[in-house]
Amino acid sequence: MKKILSASVIVFMLFASGFWAKNIYAQDTQSGKTVMNEMLLAYYYPQTDAKSEISMRIVNRQGQVRQRRLTMLRLNQTSGGDQFYYIYFHEPADVKGMSFLVLKHLGRDDDRWMYLPAIDLVKRISSSDKRTSFAGSDFTYEDVSGRALDEDAHELIGEESLGTYSCQVVKSTPKRPGETEFSYRKFWIDKVTHLSLKVEHYDLKGKLYKVYETQEIQTIQGTPTITKAVMKDIENERYTEIAMKNVSYNVGITSDIFQERLLRRPPRQWIGE
Amino acid sequence: MKLERLTQAVLGRPKLVIGLVAAISIFFMAQFPKITIDTDPKNMLPATSPVRQYNDKVEKDFVLHPDVIVLGIVNTEGIFNQQTLTYVKDLTNAVRQIPGVIVRDVDSLSTVENVFSKEGELIVRPALGDIPKTTEELTALRKSILDNSLFVGRFISSDGKAVAIFIPIEPAANGKEIADKIRAILPIDPGKNHFYLAGDPVARDTFGTEMFRQMGLFSPIAGLVMCIALWFMFRNVIVIVANMAAAMIGIIWSMGGLIGLGFPVHIMSSMSPVFLMAIATDAVHIFNEFAFRLREGQDKRSAILETMKVLGGPVFYSDITTAVGFAALATVTIVPVKIFGLVIAFGTLVVLLMSFTFIPALLMFIPEKHILKLASVQGKGEKFSPSLIRMGRFCVEKSKPILLVGIVLFIVAIAGLTRIHVNNNMVHWFKFNSEVRTADRVMNKYLGGTSTAYLVVQAKNDGAVGDPAFLRQIDGLQRELEKDPIIGKTFSLADYIKRTNLVMHDNVPIFNRIPDSKQEVGQYLFLLQSAAKPRHLDNVVDFSLKTANIIIQLKSWDADAMKSVIGRANSFFASHPLPEVTNFKPAGIAYFNMVWNHEVLWGMVSSFLWGLVLVLILLVFQTRSFLWGTLSFLPLLFTIALIYGVVGLIGKDFDMPVAVLSTLSLGMAIDFAIHFVGRFHQRYKEDHRKPGGDGLASDSQSHLKETLIWTIARPGKGIFLNAILFALGFAIMAFASLTPYITVGVFMAAIMVLSSIMSVIYLPALIQLWSRKLIKQTPRADRNCAGVVFVDKKGGV
């Protein structure tokens, strides 16, 4: 054990540059935390429930395109706490009917199930890994479902205007490095809507590799909602465009549809063909 | 001869000439700081070559990294212990901090997702997450990893004794520098663990660095040996300075010109200094003749002029044959080879120019008192070594048995030549026990292979790759390829789909296959996209499911390994045709190496053959006789046949260094024969005019014999001494740590020794045999030939 320790110490000492140093000095400030919390609530938790139709367009280096179309149902248990998600894929044709059920928990791994129509199989997924891609896009599972406030140290590092928006800039540094692809992220959060307009991802050597940008915000039922966004992977020259259609809030989604057995028979009142 | 007039002009203003040469040298030297080094074998083919463009396209389309360093950890007691696993995790994190490493794409067990089924649940998590604390946990981890066929052979050996971390580096990064930085962070006391660094960038850039180090070490040593040799011959500092300066000027002008024109110094052109040094030894003839003239009591100026008058021809011809041999490389399509040939050809012409200008000018500065000493070194009268006389008699009297032995040797050599194996293996440029080669060998023993190839299978329509029949076809091809033990590991979309099918069906073995419906394949593919880094799938299939990429790991860097891949793929698709498949194409570093090897080596072989023809034509032109030209040419042919026959017989690959040397051997091996034939003619005619020669046939025959014995004993001695001294100089390179330098050293020594033997032993036998025809044709003592008369590399005439 001693050897292991000394080896790791050497390793860390030698590379105590970059992210390690930043980590030590990363500040978890109250102001940063407040701004970030407001963003999480505005982005992941608006209203009690929501139904939206999402189209994704993934474009690779060769210019080839993959299309995805899905319906997402969301129900909050508590604001800023547990949430239920039901995700149903309409397109591409060969995955039509594939669906996912996510019971998102704070502080422990989510409960997840999926349904594969091709072999009529419902399977429980146990995943501790949130770095995986969401449906092959440049968004990660974590980007879609959110990362808990406590997992990063948030520091308000300034104010900047993006176009007509005036933003607060927050730098978020993971408290447990090595589990994420990024060493830190920088958020540009609109002061009025509390939505993030831009997120920059920096790799372990501090190089910018991925940028998220909000392209359109609509106010739906009084709730400012991001309806178009893009995630660009700079290194791999890929990007994913995401567009929300038919967003409606407080439609009366009940918790009884978030059941494993209902994956085979999707709730048709919410999910069209 | 016009060149004499040049010398005449030079002697009027020796200081001006030396100053001018120095000024030009400073100009060329000023180019050196601009040096750029290029050790990437990829640049053997121009960026516009179809193979290279296709390779770039494949790498770009499938998001593949061309340069990947493999860090292997081997623990013969198994890697599933806390210490080794911690190393894997820590080192994976640590290497990502190294500049030049492509951070996000470092792959190891701690970065890849392991998707497996456990009690009906689908588990997705890093293959190596938290380090297990108990034996049970270690056992479970071992099972979860070794059960995943996607990992075995790639990230871990099937026996669980070796793991690999794949470290892609940026194209501009230096593989050796990064490897050194990785070495620096390796644990100092790793217990039972051993660390190995392999992969193309390590080998390539280590070679690049070592190459210059070795060149820096052995060029001066070879130079020093030559200086010592010169000292024993002439005992005069200026002579040594003049000879070494001529070599240096040749090197500086040609290398400076190369660098100044913006060309990078490539593996091949880095060898130019040693080659040019060998070529510059031609100047020895001038000193020798100069000393001879001084001994006759001529004054310095006329001695120089007389020397250049008689030597103009042979020095000119021996340098021109060398230059022609190298310039012939310009016919090769490979740009670095072309440049190398032209650089040496240019350097040789510089040496030639120096012989007529700079060297005579420098000789003017030898102080008078030293001249007497220099003259006296040359000894007085003729002294023959009794053993050489005996050898001479033997050669002349037993000409037929000697020729018979020669013919037998030649037949053996031809047999060897037919067994020559054209191949190049960059890892074999390192010695067997070197770090690089050991790492490669160990990694190849445990894992799928350190060399990579791709087979890109392209269908006609979008979505075709998702067809189960198509995937089964690819799967079948992979199994066929893996029958070759050199092909260690293959993986493709078929492996991912099979694996998913198995996991979805709770590891029931029968489901370790391609599913039957296209829909099922599509849904598995969709799942895979969510369970892995997008890049991993992008490596094996494109978005539109039209093109699939099979990644092939090879356990050898031999071109043959790749030939086996292509051969097997061809025969597989011939017997299992797929209507959808429009074509399949190989790519990757292994294929790339195979292609440029083929082009370089065969290009060199053909330019070498052209060189041979050109040299023969030059010799015929020089002697004004087809027979004499051919005769002078034969020792060269014999030497080369024997050397390459031995290469074939001992099973040494005909690789790039050997190919490069073939061209040099042209220029080097011919010199002794030129001298021998020239000296023989001169002596034969001189003696013929002496009183007592009555012209009778029998007397003419004995006269021929006497002349031959004299030639063997006198100039022959010089030839042997010269050969042995320079052979020793180059033999020192056998102690180099890179095999190409060892090859160069041994080869040069062999060329020297063999061509001297061929010239001194076989030429007399041949002259004897063909005497009737030859003597009739005894060339007129024209000015081209007469010069040969007094030529000898070694003093003692």
| Mean pLDDT across B686-706 | 60
pLDDT reading at B289 higher than 90 = no
pLDDT reading at A227 higher than 90 = yes
Q: Report residue B688's pLDDT band, with 50, 70 and 90 as the boundaries.
A: low
What residues of chain A lie within 8 A of the CB of B63, using their CB? 61, 236
| Mutation site, B104, B128, B167, interface A, largest A CB count within 10 A | B104
**Closest by alpha carbon to B322, among B668, B744, B788, B753?**
B668
Q: Report residue A23's pLDDT band, with 50, 70 and 90 as the boundaries.
A: very low
pLDDT in tens, B116-131: 888 888 888 888 888 8
Q: Report residue A1's pLDDT band, with 50, 70 and 90 as the boundaries.
A: very low
**Closest by alpha carbon to B655, among B731, B726, B733, B597?**
B597
CB within 8 Å of A78: residues ≥ 6 apart = none
**Closest by alpha carbon to B392, among B711, B756, B709, B760?**
B709
Tell me if chain B has a CB within 8 Å of the CB of A67: no
pLDDT the model gives residue A16: 43
Chain A residue closest to B503 (CA)? A123
Tell me if chain B has a CB within 8 Å of the CB of A219: no
Domain A26-263 fold: outer membrane lipoprotein receptor (LolB), chain A (2.50.20)
What residues of chain A lie within 8 A of the CB of B190, using their CB? 7
Tell me if chain A has a CB within 8 Å of the CB of B102: yes
pLDDT in tens, B29-45: 888 888 887 777 777 77
Do residue A95 and residue B522 have CB atoms under 8 angstroms apart?
yes
pLDDT in tens, B99-154: 889 888 899 998 888 888 888 888 888 888 888 888 888 998 998 899 888 899 89
Least confident window among A12-16, B234-238, B708-712, B767-771: A12-16
pLDDT reading at B778 higher than 80 = no
| Mean pLDDT across B726-739 | 80
Please report, rounded to a whole number, the percentage of residues in chain B having pLDDT higher than 70.
91
Which B positions 310-349 lie with beta carbon below 8 A of chain A?
A: none
Do residue B121 and residue A123 have CB atoms under 8 angstroms apart?
yes
**Closest by alpha carbon to B68, among B149, B179, B158?**
B179
Least confident window among A61-70, B79-88, B383-392: B383-392
pLDDT the model gives residue A243: 94
Averaged confidence pLDDT in chain B: 82
Whole-prediction pTM value? 0.82
Single-letter code of the amino acid located at B344: I
pLDDT the model gives residue B111: 87
Distance between CA B719 and CA B725 in Å, rounded?
10
pLDDT in tens, B402-456: 888 888 988 999 998 888 888 878 888 888 888 889 999 999 999 988 889 999 9
Please report, rounded to a whole number, the percentage of residues in chain B having pLDDT higher than 90.
12
Q: Report residue B368's pLDDT band, with 50, 70 and 90 as the boundaries.
A: low
Q: Which of B187, B534, B535 sits opposite A7 (nearest CB)?
A: B187
Q: What is the dihedral of CA B418, B424, B430, B431, to 10 degrees?
A: -20
SS3 content of chain A, % helix, strand, coil (to 5): 20, 45, 35
pLDDT the model gives residue A145: 81
pLDDT in tens, B156-166: 999 989 999 99
Tell me if chain B has a CB within 8 Å of the CB of A257: no
Single-letter code of the amino acid located at B718: G
pLDDT reading at B690 higher than 80 = no
pLDDT in tens, A197-218: 999 999 888 889 999 999 999 9
**Structural domain spans, chain A:** 26-263
Tell me if chain B has a CB within 8 Å of the CB of A126: yes
In the beta sheet, which residues pair with residue A59?
A65, A239
pLDDT the model gives residue B223: 81
Answer yes or no: are the C-beta atoms of B756 and B670 closer than 8 Å.
no
Q: Report residue B376's pLDDT band, with 50, 70 and 90 as the boundaries.
A: low
Please give, one letter per residue, the 3-state secondary structure of B84-129: HHHHHHHHHHHHCCCCCECHHHCECCCCCEEEEEECCEEEEEECCC
Structural domains of chain B ordered from first start: 2-39+206-418+595-790 (1.20.1640.10), 67-198 (no CATH), 435-587 (3.30.70)
Q: Which of A66, A132, A135 sits opposite B543 (nearest CB)?
A: A66
| Mean pLDDT across A242-269 | 88
pLDDT in tens, B565-577: 999 988 888 888 7
Do residue A136 and residue B530 have CB atoms under 8 angstroms apart?
yes
pLDDT reading at A140 higher than 60 = yes
pLDDT the model gives residue A5: 47
